[in-house]
Amino acid sequence: MIKSLAYLGVNSPEYKAWETFGPEVLGLQHAGHGPDGAVRLRLDDAAYRITIHPGERNAIAYIGWNVKDEADAKTAAERVLAHGIEVTRSRSEENAQRKVEGFYWFHDPSGFRHELSWGQVHTVTPFHPGRGISGFRTAEQGLGHVVLAVADLEQGDRFYREVMGFHQSDTVRDASLEAHFYHVNGRHHSLAISSLPTRQVAFLHLMIEVNSLNDVGAAHDMCEQRGIPITTTLGRHSNDHMISFYMYTPSGFRLEYGWGGLDVDQDLWVPRTYDKPSSWGHRRQHKELTALMMDDAPAA
């Protein structure tokens, strides 16, 4: 049922910093503000895909998934409801803020808020990047991918595959690391889950993909020039072949900035297991990596 990662919402006391960080470092377009002062950021012809809301602490607010239409959203919502999880239909004012026709929302077994949305608004006004870049790989592949630390890896794997309908791409097992990767379209993965040694639930990172390797290099230089912490050096992942590096955002979570991700064919793809997450590079620069918790109060 799910077609792509449509949008992401975060709460943060540092939301104003995204007015410059988004355009000047990432190359996103500042797409105005929400009723609460939220900073909206655009990557393509969608009205916006990333929203940073004002908040007392850095926290993940919601993850928006795109489905074909209202009928598919209702069917997917009924599967979640049958699993014993409460599902709520969005209000008209919420639809206006997300720039969609409608959505159903719920909290998964780890507590993350997911929104099954349809009719995402696209605008005829051309996308204008905040700095000179070749653009972002989105379209039918959506925003990019998100990686979550879940409370119970086995439970999470069953829920995302059997209830939400994600398709397994592969698994990485390396020492204490175990992570599952899932696709819903041609992008190798739109979702990945892992577990932390503390069994802490957290939002680990967001990946956005640019259309040129040069854009990755330019962003890397920009981070060094501005003193933005690079948490993981430039490298190439073993499973999706993405060449990328990771940085800290003003809101405390990591963002993977990459190019060259692998495409998958759902009819032909056979899930694999890898013994290393990367074939080269991707050395951690920080021993402790911060991650976003979840906010107790859902964002509007």
300 has pLDDT over 70: no
Residue 86 shares a structural domain with residue 161: no
Contact 160, 179 (CB under 8 A): no
**What are the residues facing 235 on neighbouring strands?**
244, 281
92-101, Cβ contacts within 8 angstroms, sequence gap of 24 or more = 93/300, 94/300, 97/34, 97/35, 97/300, 98/7, 98/64, 99/46, 99/47, 99/48, 100/6, 100/64, 101/70
Residue 147 shares a structural domain with residue 61: no
pTM: 0.94
**127 in a structural domain:** no
User: How would residue 294 be classed by pLDDT, with cut points 50, 70 and 90?
Assistant: low
Specify the CATH number for the domain of residue 31. 3.10.180.10
- Cα(222)–Cα(133) distance, integer angstroms: 13
Tell me how many domains the chain contains: 2
Q: Residue 180 belongs to what domain range? A: 139-294
Residue 111 shares a structural domain with residue 242: no
Residue 165 shares a structural domain with residue 111: no
Q: What is the pLDDT of residues 107-158, one digit of tens each?
A: 999 999 999 999 999 999 999 999 999 999 999 999 999 999 999 999 999 9
For 46-60, 89-103, 113-127, 196-210, which range has the lowest pLDDT when averaged over its residues? 196-210
**131 in a structural domain:** no
Q: What radius of gyration, in Å, describes the C-alpha atoms of the chain?
A: 18
- Output the six-digit token pair for 45: 């012809």
**What are the residues facing 232 on neighbouring strands?**
246, 284
Residue 99 shares a structural domain with residue 27: yes
- Cα(7)–Cα(46) distance, integer angstroms: 10
